[in-house]
Chain A
C-alpha cells in the first residue's frame, strides 16, 4: 500500500472536478490508500489522528475490503469541528480524540445513526445514541525526564508534584510543559475534566504558573521537547503517543499518578452529509469489532477500549460520553474557565 502525500492531482483523478469542494478549514495532511483490487468505492475519512498511527489500521481494513480506496485527511480537532459544524464538509467517517467536540457534533445533529451486530455488542459506556462509537481509551499522563529530575524522586500523585515544584522553584523555572488550552482541544478537555476530578487541579495550575511554563499545541511537540531536554515535566500528554516514542528512550518516563488518571475515548461517527453510510458503517464496525482490538493495541499503538482495565483500577477515570461534555463548551463557561486558567498559568 502506497501512501501518496501530494494529493491534489490524485484528488482530481479519483473524485473528478465536481465533488472536489474547497473548504475553509485547515488541513494538516492528506493521504490516499489505494484499493488493492479494482477500486469500487472511495471512503473519505476526516481525523485528528496522525497518519503514522492510522496507517496500519487502514491497511488492515483494506485487507478485508480490497475494493475500497481510503482518502484520509488529518486536521486538528478544532479545525475538524469547524469543517463539520460550519462547512458541512463531505466526509464519510469522522474520527477525533476531542470527545467534547465530537459529542457536540453528534448532539447538534451532524451525525447519522448506525446500527449493526458489532456496535450493538459494544458496552454502553463506549457509545452514545447509536451515533458515536469509541474505539480507544487513552490516558492523560505526566511525562518526566529522569535526567532533568536528577536526585529528586518521581512524584506519585498531584500533591507530590505540587510540593516538588513549590520546593524547587529555581530548578524547574521554564522547564514545565503543558497544553495551551486556548488553542488545543485536547488540552481544554483534559483541563476541564481535571478540574472536575479534584481541587488539586487549580493549586497545580497555580504552581505550574509560578514556574513560567512552556505551552504547547500538541502532545508530539511536548514529547519532543522532553526528549531534547528542554523540559523536565510534561503534564497531560496523551499517553498512547508518549509510550510509543519513549520506548526507544531511557530518559523520558511516564509517572504513574495514583490519585487519578483521566482516560479519553477516541471516537468515530458517520456525518449526516455522508451519502455512503453503509460503506462508512463497515469502517465503524471494523474499529468497534472486538476482534480488532489486539490489532489496534499492538500495531496501531493505541490502547483499545477495555472495560475490565477501567474497572480494575480505582483511579482510572474514563471521561463518559454524554451531554455533560457540552457544559464546558458553553460560551460563557468556556470564557470563564480559560480566563481562570490564564490567571493561574500566565503569571507575570
Chain B
C-alpha cells in the first residue's frame, strides 16, 4: 500500500495512532451497545416477570381445577412500555388451562423464579418468561406454569437507537482521537523539521556544529551529524593549508627563477634567446600570480570560516589599496579616476575586503589597454555601501558573466593576459561572507563594470 511505502515518520506515527483510535472506537461501540442492550433487556424482562408474577398470584383452586383471574394490570403494564403484541399461556399437567395453546414453553420447567427465554410465535420473535406455582386442588398439589411473552419490536427500536448512539459515540471518539493524533504527530516530528531547517538555512561554507535544543531521541543523530561536520571541516582546512603550503613553496623558488631569468635576459645576445627568456619570465609571472591567488583563496576560505566582524574605515583602506596599485597603473600609463566618499565605516573582515578591492582594481588595470582610464567609485546609499570599478578594456561576454566567478574559469577573450581564474571567485566569496553581492556588467562603449555591494 502506498502510504506504507512512503518513508515519512510522521505519517507512520499518525497511521499507527489512527489504527489504535479505530480499534478503541470499535471497542467503545461494542461495549456501549452491549451494556445498553443488556440494560434494555433487563428492564424489559423485569416488566415481563412482574406481569407473570401478577397472574401467578391470582391462581386459585376451583371446583373443576385451577382457576385464574388475570388482573387487568398484568397486560396493561406490558402495553405501557411498548406497543408490542402480548401472548400468554397457563399450563398444567400437560394441558393448557387458558391462553395461547401453541405458545412455546421453556425447556426447563418448574422454576419458581422467573425464567426468561427467546422464542418464535406466530411468525414473530418473542421474549418470554415462565414461572411455576404450586396450587392445591382437591388436596393434591398441582404445578401451574405461567408463560407471558411479548414481541420484540419495542426492544428492537431501543436496540437500534442504542446502536445508533453507540455508533455516533464511536465515530465522535475516532474523530477527536484522530485530531489529537494529528496534533501529537505534528509536535513529535517538529524537532526534526527544526534540525532540518537549521541545516538547510546555512550558507555554503558554514560548517559549525549544530547547537539548537533537540529532544534526546535525536541527540545521536545530531551528534553523528556534528561529528561528520567536524571531520569535513578538518579535511577542508587541511586541504587549504596544504594548498597554501604548496603555493608558498612554489612561489619562493619561482622568484629566484625570475631574477635569474631577468639577469640572463640582460646578458642574452641573440634575439632568439631573448624571446625564449621573455616567455620564461612570463610563464613564471603567471605561475607566481596563481600561487599568490591560491594563497589568497586559502586565506579567504579560512578567514571566512573564522569570520569575525570589526569596524574599520573603508575609505582609508581603499586609498591604501589604490596607493599600492598605482605603480602598476603607472607602468601602463593608466589614469585612475577616483570618486571616493570619505570616512565610510564598514563592518566586516578588513583583510578579506582589502583582498577583494585589490583584486578588482588589479583586474581593471590588467585588462585595460595602455594609456586607458579606470574609474573607481565608492559611495553609500543608505544601508548599503557600493564599490564600483569600471574600465575601458575588452569587456566581458554576456554569456560568460555568471561563470566567471567559478574557480579557475577565465573569459574566452583573455588568453594573452596573465591570470589564474581565481580573482573573481575570491571577490564573490568575500561578498557572500559579508551578506553582500557582486555583479559584473558590460559597460556601454566597451569595457566592464564590477560592482560590490556590502
Least CB distance, B304 to chain A, in whole angstroms: 85
CA distance A333 to B72 in the complex (A): 11
Verify A324–B97 contact, CB threshold 8 A.
no
B116-135: CB near A (< 8 Å → 1, else 0) gives: 00000011100000000000
The reply on A128 being an interface residue by CB < 8 A is yes
Verify A129–B84 contact, CB threshold 8 A.
yes
Q: Which residues of A contact B74 (CB under 8 A)?
A: 327
Nearest residue, chain A, Cβ from B86 = A323
CA distance A323 to B78 in the complex (A): 7
Partner-binding segment picked from B63-71, B176-184, B253-261: B63-71
The reply on A255 being an interface residue by CB < 8 A is no
Provided the pairs A108-B122, A331-B98 are in contact, do residues A323 and B67 lie with their beta carbons within 8 angstroms? no
Q: Which residues between 68 and 98 of chain B lie within 8 Å of chain A, taking CB atoms?
A: 68-76, 78-80, 83-87, 97-98
The reply on A330 being an interface residue by CB < 8 A is yes
The reply on A5 being an interface residue by CB < 8 A is no
Q: Which residues between 317 and 331 of chain A lie within 8 Å of chain B, taking CB atoms?
A: 320, 322-328, 330-331
Q: Which residues between 93 and 146 of chain A lie within 8 Å of chain B, taking CB atoms?
A: 106-109, 128-130
The reply on A336 being an interface residue by CB < 8 A is yes
The reply on B99 being an interface residue by CB < 8 A is yes
Least CB distance, B162 to chain A, in whole angstroms: 21
Least CB distance, B19 to chain A, in whole angstroms: 42
A164-200: CB near B (< 8 Å → 1, else 0) gives: 0000000000000000000000000000000010000
CA distance A333 to B71 in the complex (A): 9
Verify A332–B72 contact, CB threshold 8 A.
no
Which of B75, B78, B123: most chain A CB closer than 10 A?
B75
Nearest residue, chain B, Cβ from A124 = B83
Q: Which residues of A contact B124 (CB under 8 A)?
A: 109
Verify B98–A323 contact, CB threshold 8 A.
no
| Chain A binding surface SS class | helix
Which of B67, B74, B75, B79: most chain A CB closer than 10 A?
B79
Provided the pairs A129-B83, A323-B85, A324-B79 are in contact, do residues A336 and B72 lie with their beta carbons within 8 angstroms? no
Verify A330–B76 contact, CB threshold 8 A.
no
Which of B73, B78, B86, B122: most chain A CB closer than 10 A?
B86
Provided the pairs A109-B124, A322-B75, A323-B76 are in contact, do residues A333 and B86 lie with their beta carbons within 8 angstroms? no
Which of A130, A327, A333, A336: most chain B CB closer than 10 A?
A327
CA distance A325 to B76 in the complex (A): 8
Verify B70–A333 contact, CB threshold 8 A.
yes
Q: Which residues of A contact B87 (CB under 8 A)?
A: 107
Nearest residue, chain A, Cβ from B76 = A324
Least CB distance, B241 to chain A, in whole angstroms: 95
Nearest residue, chain A, Cβ from B121 = A109
CA distance A196 to B98 in the complex (A): 22
CA distance A330 to B75 in the complex (A): 12
CA distance A285 to B78 in the complex (A): 28
Q: Which residues of B contact A109 (CB under 8 A)?
A: 85, 122-124
Verify A327–B85 contact, CB threshold 8 A.
no
Verify A107–B72 contact, CB threshold 8 A.
no
Among candidates B68, B73, B83, residue contacting A128 with C-beta atoms closer than 8 Å: B83
Q: Which residues of A contact B78 (CB under 8 A)?
A: 323
CA distance A323 to B83 in the complex (A): 8
Least CB distance, A337 to chain B, in whole angstroms: 9
Q: Which residues of B contact A196 (CB under 8 A)?
A: 72
Nearest residue, chain A, Cβ from B123 = A109
Among candidates A107, A130, A331, residue contacting B86 with C-beta atoms closer than 8 Å: A107
Least CB distance, A5 to chain B, in whole angstroms: 38
Verify A323–B72 contact, CB threshold 8 A.
no
Least CB distance, B132 to chain A, in whole angstroms: 18
CA distance A324 to B80 in the complex (A): 10
Verify B85–A324 contact, CB threshold 8 A.
no
CA distance A330 to B86 in the complex (A): 13
B residues whose Cβ falls under 8 Å from a Cβ of A: 67-76, 78-80, 83-87, 97-99, 122-124, 153
- A-B interface, 6 closest residue pairs, ranked by CB to CB distance from nearest: A322-B79, A324-B76, A323-B86, A129-B83, A323-B75, A323-B79
Q: A109-B85, A322-B80, A323-B76 are in contact. List 18 more A-B contacts (CB 8 A).
A: A106-B85, A108-B85, A109-B122, A129-B153, A130-B83, A320-B76, A322-B79, A323-B75, A323-B79, A324-B75, A324-B79, A326-B86, A330-B98, A332-B68, A332-B69, A332-B98, A333-B68, A333-B98
Q: Can you report 29 residue pairs joining A to B where beta carbons are below 8 Å apart?
A: A107-B85, A108-B122, A109-B122, A128-B83, A129-B83, A129-B153, A196-B72, A320-B79, A322-B76, A323-B76, A323-B78, A323-B79, A323-B85, A324-B72, A324-B73, A324-B75, A326-B75, A327-B71, A327-B72, A327-B75, A327-B76, A328-B72, A330-B68, A330-B70, A330-B99, A332-B67, A332-B98, A333-B69, A336-B67
